Amino acid sequence: MRALTWHGKHDVRVDTVDDPEIINPRDAIIKITATAICGSDLHLYDGYIPTMKAGDILGHEFMGEVVETGSKSTLQKGQKVVVPFTIACGSCYHCGKHQYSACDNGNPADNQDIGRELYGQPMSGLFGYSHMTGGYAGGQAEYVRVPFSDVGPIVVPDGIEDEKVLFLSDILPTGWMAAENAQIEPGDTVAVWGCGPVGLFAVQSAFLMGAARVIAIDHFPHRLELARKFGAEAINFEESKTYEALMEMTGGIGPDAVIDAVGLEAHGFFVDNVIDQIKASMFLGTDRTHSIRQAILACRKGGRVSMPAVYGGFVDKFPLGAFMEKGLTLKTGQTHVQHYMPGLLNAILEGKIDTTFLISHTLPLEDAPKGYKMFHDNQNEVTKVVLKPDLAVAAE
Amino acid sequence: MTSDKTLAQRDHDDAPVTTSKSADPDRTLLAEAITINRPAQELYDFWRNPQNLVGIMENIEAIEVLSDTRSRWTVKAPADGHVSWESVISDDVPGRSITWQSAPDADVANSGRIEFHEVDGRGTVVRATIAYEPPGGALGQIIAKLFQREPRIQTRRDLRRFKQLMETGEVATAARTKKQLEEEKA
């Protein structure tokens, strides 16, 4: 089959590799119909993520048709499914509590050592995201092997457009969980740092959960414009002073809840603050590294901090004093995708949530390297790249 | 930190003896615990049949059952060789624990115990304790190397695979093809 493979910094290629096979009884093989490049894929592209190996197949947002099933899979051939990016067994204590991203068993035994070393306990496996999270082949390919297929994939109705449901795999549940973690009360003002897909879905979710006002903070005009379309007020941090603006806009109180949807790109994945600083001084700028600090300082006393943004290691100058003195609550974590999929699928089918607005580009899988470069180079215009294996390559 | 105290003389300390900062120079002792969301009896039954363990333990080439309490273990050794020894169950509490030790002629004297303790709402805490004595002689050195290749990490991984198999019915792997799976196991 053809698959997008990683070979090093800014070096991804579409290669021919062996087709996946059923290995374990609960597996299924999915023929990919649509897959997307995630903002977090750019961190792989930029070479920030350790434990990557040349030839690794990327992609953790994908969906497709069931073409093969193991003896204990509950899926049927021909069904259309969206696959969660978290690989969870459904049988362990954490899955029982719907804490799917904390699954004990989704990550192969040997790969759990790194997570234990870094975090105290290893987390679940993830598709297409380095060997620390399992080393599973991702879905930016023609086919993918899906373990625990009786627990993860959600069957979607026949005939529904892929674009409407594809984002159930990651970013929609992630944005929703971000808003849920903000414990929004009716009438609240919620501030969201970062208007990437997760931030934009958090804006939509916050309104659905009863927020009276949502204030979106970014520096890409096009992304701020999208946030406005959903009713958010925008702060362009390159034009205005964010803290001062928030205080004035909230009558000196500060937002009741703050959501940091920036994260990883600013801080890197399990790098210490030395590398954090080197990166910041080289090209990432300081505004981004400030998102969580700024959110904590702006948040009202006794308010809530939600952090869907991915942090991997240590963060320098975390305002622990402000956090304690103001009595804030912090909720965070990798998304428990399986928990949110059924409810969010219903919300999509009922027309309460639209996800298609996000897609700025659709390309054939063969053009995936071009998609990575576009996404990397122009984050203002390129909000989401969807890849389709069946799409014909346009003549140059 | 090392102290002159023996392992038994730790004051005001309820931590397991295996976590002591004082080492026993004559012996290596380690323990690992894991919680498995299944009944103790089921886990005990699996472990009581040594042949079941081939599928979850790394480096094990074969486990031959000699009698109800005796089995012969063969592990891979460097340069395509292998090493084997006989293991004898010295104490057996059905549903609760199994204790074994190597037969007197073993190149690496080793002993261990696996305990199964049910806890409300979470299944069973499984605790493996393993002790072995550094061997002498040239062959002993090779075997020691084999055993000391992070025995704690090895034990931890084995327990994780045990948990995966008992909780999910399979051992998790990222292999995409059967060929990759074989290469991983080789």
Query: Which residue's entry shows tokens 């992630």?
Result: A174
Q: CB count, 10 Å around CB of B136?
A: 10
* Burial annotation A132-160 (CB, 10 A radius, 16+ → b, else e): bbbbbbbbbbbbbbbbbbbbbbbebeeee
Structural domains of chain A in order of their starting residue, each with its CATH number:
2-170+336-388 (3.90.180.10), 172-332 (3.40.50.720)
Average pLDDT value for residue range A156-178: 97
Please give the Cα distance from B59 to B77 (Å, whole number): 9
- Say yes or no for a CB contact (<8 Å) between A19 and B123: no
Q: Select from A19, A106, A113 the Cβ nearest to the Cβ of B172.
A: A106
Task: Say whether pLDDT at A267 is over 80.
Answer: no
Among A165, A197, A170, smallest CA distance to A345 is for A165
Among A204, A191, A192, A146, smallest CA distance to A23 is for A146
Helix A197-208, helix A171-181: angle, nearest 10: 50
Any chain A CB within 8 A of the CB of B14? no
- Say yes or no for a CB contact (<8 Å) between A108 and B179: no
> How high is the pLDDT of residue B131?
86
Query: Which residue's entry shows tokens 């003195």?
Result: A325
Please give the Cα distance from A103 to A124 (Å, whole number): 5
* Ramachandran region, residue A56 (left: φ > 0; alpha: ψ -120 to 50; beta: rest): beta
Please give the Cα distance from A373 to A252 (Å, whole number): 42
The answer to whether A25 touches A146, Cβ cutoff 8 Å, is: no
Strand, helix or coil at B19? helix
A89/chain B closest Cα distance in angstroms? 6
B181 contact residues in A (CB cutoff 8 A): 23
Closest residue, chain A, to B160 (C-alpha): A109
A144/chain B closest Cα distance in angstroms? 8
Residue type for position B100: W
Residue type for position B158: D
Tell me the per-residue pLDDT of A196-218, one tens digit each, with 9 for 90 and over.
999 999 999 999 999 999 999 99
A257-260 and A11-16 beta bridge pairing: unpaired
Report B:141-160 residues touching A (Cβ under 8 A): 153, 156-158, 160
> How high is the pLDDT of residue A297?
95
Please give the Cα distance from A92 to B100 (Å, whole number): 29
According to DSSP, residue A136 is labeled B
The answer to whether A110 touches A93, Cβ cutoff 8 Å, is: no
Residue type for position A126: L
Average pLDDT value for residue range A138-160: 97
Q: Select from A21, A107, A131 the Cβ nearest to the Cβ of B172.
A: A107
Alpha-carbon B114 to chain mean position:
8
Any chain B CB within 8 A of the CB of A255? no
Task: Say whether pLDDT at A255 is over 60.
Answer: yes
The answer to whether A283 touches A265, Cβ cutoff 8 Å, is: no
Helix A242-249, helix A291-298: angle, nearest 10: 30
Tell me the per-residue pLDDT of A215-225, one tens digit each, with 9 for 90 and over.
999 999 999 99
Higher-confidence residue of A292 and A243: namely A243
Of how many residues is chain B composed?
Answer: 186
**How much is the mean pLDDT over chain A?**
91
Report A:40-69 residues touching B (Cβ under 8 A): 57
Angle, vertex CA A108, rays to CA A105 and CA A112, nearest 5: 85
Q: What is the CB-side half-sphere exposure of residue A372 using CA atoms within 13 A? A: 25
Task: Say whether pLDDT at A278 is over 60.
Answer: no
* Burial annotation B89-100 (CB, 10 A radius, 16+ → b, else e): beeeeeeebbbb
Query: Which residue's entry shows tokens 């994945």?
Result: A269
B167 contact residues in A (CB cutoff 8 A): 89, 91-92, 104-105
Any chain B CB within 8 A of the CB of A137? yes
Task: Say whether pLDDT at B2 is over 60.
Answer: no
Q: Which residues contact B106 (CB under 8 A, 6 or more apart)?
A: B85, B86
Query: For residue B127, what is the enclosing H or E element?
Result: strand B123-132
Task: Say whether pLDDT at B152 is over 90.
Answer: no
Band of residue B1 on the pLDDT scale cut at 50, 70, 90: very low
Average pLDDT value for residue range B83-106: 93
Q: Select from B170, B175, B176 the Cβ nearest to the Cβ of A26.
A: B170
Please give the Cα distance from A364 to A341 (Å, whole number): 27
If 0-12 CB within 10 Å is exposed, 13-18 middle and 19+ buried, where does residue B153 land?
middle
Strand, helix or coil at A115? helix
- Say yes or no for a CB contact (<8 Å) between B179 and A18: yes
A89 contact residues in B (CB cutoff 8 A): 164, 167-168, 172
Any chain A CB within 8 A of the CB of B185? no
Query: Which residue's entry shows tokens 């995966």?
Result: B164
Strand, helix or coil at B73? strand
According to DSSP, residue A55 is labeled T
According to DSSP, residue A141 is labeled B
Please give the Cα distance from A292 to A311 (Å, whole number): 10
Please give the Cα distance from B181 to A27 (Å, whole number): 14
Average pLDDT value for residue range B1-15: 65
Please give the Cα distance from B2 to B30 (Å, whole number): 17
* Ramachandran region, residue A68 (left: φ > 0; alpha: ψ -120 to 50; beta: rest): beta
Model ipTM? 0.89
> How high is the pLDDT of residue B16?
84
Any chain B CB within 8 A of the CB of A120? no
Please give the Cα distance from A64 to A68 (Å, whole number): 12
Task: Say whether pLDDT at A234 is over 70.
Answer: yes
Closest residue, chain B, to A70 (C-alpha): B170
Average pLDDT value for residue range A46-61: 91
Give the whole-number percent of chain B exceeding pLDDT 70.
80
> How high is the pLDDT of residue A284?
44
CATH topology of domain B26-185: Alpha-D-Glucose-1,6-Bisphosphate; Chain A, domain 4 (3.30.530)
Alpha-carbon A309 to chain mean position:
8
Angle, vertex CA A346, rays to CA A344 and CA A350, nearest 5: 120
Angle, vertex CA A182, rays to CA A178 and CA A184, nearest 5: 120
A134/chain B closest Cα distance in angstroms? 6
Any chain B CB within 8 A of the CB of A152? no
Higher-confidence residue of B46 and A274: namely B46
B138 phi/psi in degrees, rounded to 5: -70, -45
And the tokens for A98? 């719907």
> How high is the pLDDT of residue A379?
86
